[in-house]
Structure formats: structure tokens, C-alpha cells
Structure 1
Amino acid sequence: MAASAIPVVDFQKYGLNVTDPKSVTGDVLETTAKEIYDAFSTTGFLYLINHGMGEKEVNDMFSVSKSFFDKPVEEKKRCARIPAEHGDHGWIALESESLNPKRKVGDLKEAFNFTPGHDGLWPEEPVEFESTFVSFHADCTRLTERILDVLSIGLKLQDRYYLRECHNLMGKKGGATTLRSLYYPALSGSMKPGQVRCGEHSDYGTMTLLFQDDTGGLEVVNTDGVYVPATPIPGAIIVNIGDMMQRWTADQLKGTKHRVLIPEAEVKKRQSRQSIAFFVNPNNDTMIKCLDGSDKYEPISSEDYLNYRFSVTYE
């Protein structure tokens, strides 16, 4: 599953470049829907091209994020994540998460999360930080709605807009879809035994849109069970399935494990790395019940499932 082995899906027929998506009939999207379904049911990952997200908007997100992450820790603490007050919103310090709890040490990354309807404190500088996050979240939401429409067709659901409706609170209170900007600082000195930049894990929710810089480092489990590089493709968004969607589809679609290790090359260790993840989750009150009617998994609300997964990550 090198760059050529992760499927590349052209989304031009239904991307943000299409001004009226309702004018696109389902039969026009059948080929794209099959490509997306085939990718998600085998590798769980794909590269999305011709999606309509602007290069400038992506670069602006990386730029304002880097300006914030470069600030002293004491400044960043002023807008730290406080779950009891603001849910998942805010800054998450270096080594405070362990996405693979078996490693017993925190990941060498920090992050800033934004979930509309649950947001709390924002940094004062850079001044455009909040507006950039709000605008980017809105763009990702619009693209996600279209991916969900095509995925509904691929899953052969009767209603093309079924999954979209289950996520119609992505930018509002009652939704848990989160925009996360991630920063992996340049490394110096020795690391703790077993420490990595991002531990082995599969994502929790419906799916994830991932924007990478050109540094590389993401590795994905291929169909043979081996970790291989997910090499950045300029302009492409990586989209992958989360565990909740695997459960929802009774294992038709695959939540695939991925990680970011410590680079072996010294020159790579001295480079920082950035990525932006848009974690798509259904409305909190959506019941995750097997779409095929098999009852392979017991129904559970989206909110309860996510709370369980977060409790393990931050314990």
C-alpha cells in the first residue's frame, strides 16, 4: 500500500466545484460510489482528488496553526482542553495522549481541537486563528456531506441522503465532528522507550479527512497486515473509515490502523511535521445500528460510543 496501492478516487463529478449537487443524478455517481465503497471495504483508505477544497485555505490552516504551536507553553495553556467545560475543544499538550495505550508513554505530538457548538477559549494570536478554523470546518463539512451522499449510494441505501441526515449537526451543538490541527515538533535528545509520534490506532467515528504536509511519516496497515507509507500526494486528501462506521456497516467497511513513528533518519528527526484531521462523527443522538439489519453489533448511541473511546485514550 504505497502511494500507488492506496486507491485514488477522482471526485470531480460531485466535488465542491459542482455548484448544485442535487442536479447530479445518482446514476452519474455510480462509478465513483463503487470506487469509494471498494476502497473502504478493502484498505479502509483512499486518496481523494479533484475534491474542490482550495489550496490557499489548506495552507492558511497550516500557517496559523504553526504560529500558535510555536508559542510558549504558558501561552498555549490559556486555551487548554477542559472536557468538563468545553468538551473536546482546545489545546492538547505534548505527551498527554496515547493513541495506543499499550505503549504506556504519551505520543510526541500536540494538537488544537475545534468542535462548533462546544468551543471554549481561543488564542489571542494569531488574530485570524479562530476565523480560519471556523471557515475550514465549514468547507470540510460541505465536502463531507457530499462524500456521505456517494457512500450511501455505494452502500446501496434507499435514501442517498441518509448518512448526510445522520450528520446534519456537524457544525452545530449536538454534533461531535471535530477539526483537529496536529503538530509534531522537531526531535532532539533521547526519547522514552517505546515512544512514537502517534501510536497505532484506528479512528473512532464515521470517517476522517486528513490533510498532510509534504514531510511524510504516516503509515497504514495494508491488506497483508504490514505497515506501509501513505506517501503524500500534492492536492489530495486522505480519507479513511473509522471504527464506528465499521460497526454501523456490520464490518462491510474497514477501520484501518495507522501510525506515525519516530523517523530513522536524523535529518527527518530534526524536521517538524503537521497534519490537519477532520474527524467526522454522527449526531450525538444517532443510534448506531447495523445498516444491513443483521444486528451483528448491539445498537449504541454515537455519543456513548465516542465517550467510551475517549476514556481509553486519556485515562
Structure 2
Amino acid sequence: MSIPVVDFGSCSLDVDDISRVDLHELSTEFKNAFTQVGFVFLENTGITQEEVKSVMDASLRFFRQPDHLKQPFRRNTFPNCIVHGWLPLGSERVDIEKPEDIKEAFNMTSINPSIKWSSLEGFQESQTTFYYRCKELSLRILRVIAHSLDVDPEVFLSAHCHLDTDQNLTTLRSLYYPPVNSRLAKEGQLRCGQHSDYGSMTLLFQDSQGLQVRRRSGEFIMVPCIPGAVLVNIADMMQRWTSDRFVSAVHKVELPMADDSSTRQSLAFFLMPDDDAMISCVDGSNKYPPIRAGDYYAERLAHIYVDKDS
């Protein structure tokens, strides 16, 4: 099955209310996508391609600086939020059985005023503005997800009430995949190793193909690039929350072809429940025991960094 494309216009950031008929139709499409594939493309969300390009352009200017100019903003240099900041090339390995990923990233996880930002024109402003746009879109998507599961939206919304504070690890990640000579890569090395995401869900904006998603059959399929569309996928916490009703699909970013010297950029908004949120199965079952979200994150994040002091 390919990844479904759904029109989100009736619930976009440009509208105030959604009719019960539209909500029912969206919920049905969400249920089909998230139980069978785990991914869905949303069109007409209210977030424009121009907004995405603005953030990517500012991020690219940051990444193309010499490393010594990015070093002061490196991850783990901010005591109030160790996830926030720049990750150099090769500092992360999301598939712990494979070599380090060939990518560079900047995590915007904290809005704390004590956080230092690069003085690069437009960088902080574009990141912050886009974070809030993704936050609002995510909350709307959560409402539709709740309706598709026939549960009170507050079950999900109340567990995400500390977004943009140091009590929540929701992250806007700008990703840059530089040109790579595939012939010189280590055995098994990818631009981003195969993995599933950790939190509630992810919003992904990409400028080119490269991402592959694993079907339930085990086969990987190439994800198309649809300008203006947001790719949404269920993450591990939501799969646990829904007692495996919704699927958190494994995905990866392959190396380019041997003669392909192009770059790739993407923006990923990783929506996480609040650190202190207790996550229990929404169907009332005991398939998974309740778990504190922050404890779950700590366990998952402990294994991915190549340089523990980075």
C-alpha cells in the first residue's frame, strides 16, 4: 500500500471550526492510514511551501558555516535542555547496529530565554515561528486522532500542555544531508539509519526524495516528495498509547546513487508528551503498563549519540 494523501483543508490553520461531517470523514481517513501504514500526507494544512522554504533557507545558511562558528550552539551546552542545539556530522547513530549517520542537524527544543542563538539573520526567528505553527497544527491533528479512536481529545491534549517549555522535549529538527560519495561510505552506513520515532507523532517537510518507509510486509517503499504537503507519521509512544492499534513504521534515508552529488534538507517536528505525563493504554487494556514519558525518552535517547559529550 502506498502512503495515502488526505485533504486537511476543513481543519487547517486557516479555519476556526470544523463540521461534524468533515471531522468524521477525516477521522475515517486517519484511522485507515495509521492502522495500515502509519504515515499520511496532509494537503492544505495552512502551512505553506513558502514558510517551509524560509526555514530551510535560514537553516542552510547556518549549516554552511565553518564548524567553529556552530560549536557554541552544540547540543548539550544548554543546562536547562540537553537536547537543544547543533549536532555535527556523524555525531548520531539512530540504528545502533550500524555506523554513524551522514547528516547534520539543529534541534530547537527550548524557548527558554537563557538559550543562546546564532546571530545569523533570520535563523532564530524562522525556527521559533515555524515551531509554533507546527505546534498548532499538531494539536489539531491530535483532535482528529482522538475522534478516530472514539476517545476524549483531552486524553491526548492534556498530555501535551507544556509544549515550548523545559517540561516537554517536543523538537523542531532542521536536517541537512551533505553530498556523499556512496563508494566511500562505511558498510551499512546510511544518511539516516532505519528507526522508528519516539514520541506521539512527527510532522515532516522535505525538499527531495530519499526517505523510505517499511511496509508491514517488510518491504521498504520510497516516499514521494509532494510540494506543500506535510508527511505525518505515528511514533512509538502513540503506538503504545493505542495498544498497537496505530502503527509506528520503521523508516530510513538511504544514500544517494553513486553519481548523485545532491544535498537533501528536511524539517521534522517531533511531538512529544510532557515529561511528567503518564501514558496508559487508551482502550483501558493492560497491554502496556503505564510509563512516565520522560523516563521513556531517557532510555531511548541514551543509545543514539556517538559522542556522549557532544
In structure 1, give the amino acid aligned to 2:293: S
Aligned to 2:176: 183
In structure 1, give the amino acid aligned to 2:303: V
Query: What pairs with 1:156-235 in structure 2 (closer than 5 Å)?
Result: 156-157=150-151, 159-188=152-181, 190-213=184-207, 215-235=208-228
In structure 2, give the amino acid aligned to 1:60: S
DSSP-derived class of the 2:10 partner? coil
Report if aligned partners of 1:9, 1:35 keep a CA contact under 8 Å in 2.
yes
Report if aligned partners of 1:90, 1:120 keep a CA contact under 8 Å in 2.
no
Aligned to 1:308: 299
In structure 1, give the amino acid aligned to 2:8: F
- Structure 2 residue ranges without an equivalent (≥5): none
What's the TM-score, normalizing by structure 1?
A: 0.92
Q: Distance in 1 between matches of 2:206 and 2:49?
A: 12
> Is 1:256 aligned with 2:249?
yes
> Residue 304 of structure 1: CA displacement?
0.7
Report if aligned partners of 2:180, 2:256 keep a CA contact under 8 Å in 1.
no
> Is 1:7 aligned with 2:4?
yes
Q: 1:286 aligns with which of 272, 277, 280?
A: 277
> Residue 92 of structure 1: CA displacement?
0.3
> Residue 27 of structure 1: CA displacement?
4.2
In structure 2, give the amino acid aligned to 1:301: R
> Is 1:34 aligned with 2:28?
yes
Q: Distance in 2 between matches of 1:38 and 1:164?
A: 22
Report if aligned partners of 2:78, 2:84 keep a CA contact under 8 Å in 1.
no
Please provide the CA RMSD for this pair: 1.5
Q: Distance in 1 between matches of 2:247 and 2:294?
A: 21
Report if aligned partners of 2:179, 2:262 keep a CA contact under 8 Å in 1.
yes
In structure 2, give the amino acid aligned to 1:240: N
Task: Describe the superposition over 1:255-313 as per-residue Cα deviations: whole angstroms up to 9, x where unpaired.
Answer: 100001112241x2x11100000000011111111111111111111111111110021
Q: Distance in 2 between matches of 1:46 and 1:164?
A: 21
Task: Describe the superposition over 1:134-174 as per-residue Cα deviations: whole angstroms up to 9, x where unpaired.
Answer: 100000011111000010000100x2343122212222231
In structure 2, give the amino acid aligned to 1:115: T
> Residue 37 of structure 1: CA displacement?
1.5
Give identity over the alignment, percent.
41
DSSP-derived class of the 1:312 partner? coil
Report if aligned partners of 2:212, 2:252 keep a CA contact under 8 Å in 1.
yes
Q: Distance in 2 between matches of 1:209 and 1:265?
A: 29
> Residue 40 of structure 1: CA displacement?
0.7
> Is 1:69 aligned with 2:63?
yes
Report if aligned partners of 2:49, 2:227 keep a CA contact under 8 Å in 1.
no
Report if aligned partners of 2:94, 2:101 keep a CA contact under 8 Å in 1.
yes
> Residue 223 of structure 1: CA displacement?
3.0
- Equivalent pairs counted in the alignment come to 303
Q: Distance in 2 between matches of 1:306 and 1:96?
A: 18
Report if aligned partners of 1:90, 1:121 keep a CA contact under 8 Å in 2.
no
What's the TM-score, normalizing by structure 2?
A: 0.94
DSSP-derived class of the 1:304 partner? helix
Report if aligned partners of 1:205, 1:279 keep a CA contact under 8 Å in 2.
yes
Stretches of 4+ aligned residues off by more than 4 angstroms: none
DSSP-derived class of the 1:102 partner? coil
